[in-house]
Amino acid sequence: MQISATPFRRSFRPRTVAAAVAASGLFSLALTGANAPAHAAGYGTPTVSLSAAYLSGAVGATGDPAVTVTVGQSGADASALTVAASASSKSSVAGTGDVSVTGTGATRRLTVGARAQGYTDLTIEVTGLGGRSTTKTLHYAASAAVQHSADTLYFTGSSDASAAVPVGGGYVVVADDESNTLRLYDGSTSGAPVRTWDFSDELGVKKEVDIEAAARVGDTVYWTGSLGNNKDGEYKSDRNRIFTTKVTGSGAATQLAFGGSYAKLRDDLVAWDKANGDRYGFAAGTKDGQVPKQIDGFNIEGLEFAPGSSTTAYLGFRAPLVPPENGGKALVVPVTNIDKVVTGKKAAFGTPIELDLGGLAIRDIRKNAADQYLIVAGSWAADDNSDPYALYSWDGVAGHAPVKRADLPTSDPGGWEAAVDVPDLNAAGARAQLITDDGSADLYGDGTEAKDLTHDEWKKSRATWFTVGK
């Protein structure tokens, strides 16, 4: 039997579009993508940037620093993108579920809740439209829980806070005894400085001044180095400095400009003590080989103006004690022409004041507009992170005894180093903010001192509120 080929060909023509797609192997792909956005092919790879690649937190903290996450994707509205942690290199420190992201649009706020002390790398993933995603790594470090955590925040970028001056609106300028940089912080939140100033060039120094104390009168802030030898007992001229900065603006808009400086205050103190019978042993305390943080050493850590004065300032000594033995008194020496000293004039001194602080020395001294003084008292020793600390009130009058207000906690890392300002000490529940020097602390449990950490974002000092009012 013979079969004609022509009817066979006609029964399969014309070929439909569906048949053509199926024949080319694309029909199943078209069905799979039926629910995909019409312009999926036009979406670019999402972009993501972090305001900081390194972040520090603390176990039990209530106001840890945050990271700003900026996201985008070509062809898509940024609000359609999702941001989340997709992996953690050490979930025992902080896992993906401990990462919180808030906000919409191109800018999000990321925080981490620490579970334990240590380090972890967190993978932050941004998922956009068209199934596209990208990641960034956030290097996270968590310090251990501390006492008074609900009243504690952290100033990051530096670990050696040594002096603090309020500048309005809750903002504070903080000095660091390991550098000549002054940092402006929002005193109500944890995080990095808003602004910084380094006055090394104006001071003509190559090394740190070892800033240890500050006092403000009007728009002028006086800053002083410790004036002592370094930890090896060597004289370093850069530390023999007192200088001023002029404040303009306030709060977040604060600006500082360099004023004047003086590089002979230590020399003047030694000469004055010699002329008065070498009563305090300043010559011996400053000689080559003398370590400054000894009971008979020479080290200044407090500076504040006398009651009602803008020209007489009190120098508060960490060492020596008077006499230089256990139970000795803390020493205050008035500089009666501090305004002239920073213009290059030789310092003049008033009658020294000896204060009974229970065998402790002065770590900071601060007063309010009513001439109510708050003294941070601590050990003269160098290894004092666990030594006693206490708060005393005083009226600034020679011969009047200071009054103990509170013992400060000492089991946590860092030494109490600075008081930000002084509230009305007669007001019930009045609180003062104190800052620690954490430079020698092992914050993250790996044996590294905070001052030696390789990333400034992991360096930090602790700021805690304490009740000091009646």
| pLDDT mean over 143-154 | 96
Q: Is the pTM of this model over 0.85?
A: yes
Q: Class of the 149-467 domain?
A: mainly beta
Pairwise CA distance, residues 192 & 459, whole Å: 10
- Which residue intervals of the chain bear CATH 2.120.10? 149-467
Lowest mean pLDDT, pick from 24-38, 41-55, 105-119, 452-466? 24-38
8 Å CB contact between 152 and 464: yes
pLDDT, one tens digit per residue, over 90-129 is: 999 999 999 999 999 999 999 999 999 999 999 999 999 9
pLDDT at residue 38, as a whole number: 46
Between the CA of residue 4 and those of 9, 10, 66, 86, what are the distances in Å? Answer: 10, 11, 81, 66
pLDDT at residue 78, as a whole number: 97
pLDDT, one tens digit per residue, over 330-369 is: 999 999 999 999 999 999 999 999 999 999 999 999 999 9
Pairwise CA distance, residues 143 & 150, whole Å: 15
8 Å CB contact between 140 and 112: yes
Confidence of residue 384 (pLDDT cuts 50, 70, 90): low
pLDDT, one tens digit per residue, over 222-269 is: 999 999 999 999 999 999 999 999 999 999 999 999 999 999 999 999
Lowest mean pLDDT, pick from 95-104, 195-204, 384-393, 438-447? 384-393
Residues 6 or more apart whose Cβ sits within 8 Å of residue 245: 182, 197, 199, 220, 221, 223, 256, 257, 258, 259
In terms of phi and psi (left: phi > 0; alpha: psi -120 to 50; beta: otherwise), the region of 423 is beta
- CA-angle at 249, arms to 245 and 255, nearest 5°: 45
pLDDT at residue 58, as a whole number: 98
8 Å CB contact between 200 and 243: no
- Which residue intervals of the chain bear CATH 2.60.40.1080? 45-143
How many CA atoms within 13 Å lie on the side-chain side of 393? 20
Between the CA of residue 130 and those of 27, 39, 88, 124, 135, what are the distances in Å? Answer: 20, 9, 26, 19, 16
Q: Parallel, antiparallel, or unpaired: how do β-strands 313-319 and 99-102 relate?
A: unpaired
Closest CA to 413 of 152, 92, 113, 189: 152
DSSP structural state of residue 41: G
Determine how many CB atoms are found less than 10 A away from the CB of residue 2: 3
| pLDDT mean over 15-26 | 36
Closest CA to 112 of 102, 100, 104: 100
DSSP of 47-100 = EEEES-SEEEEETT-SS---EEEEEE-TTS-GGG-EEEEEEES-TTT--GGGEE
Pairwise CA distance, residues 215 & 306, whole Å: 11
Q: Class of the 45-143 domain?
A: mainly beta
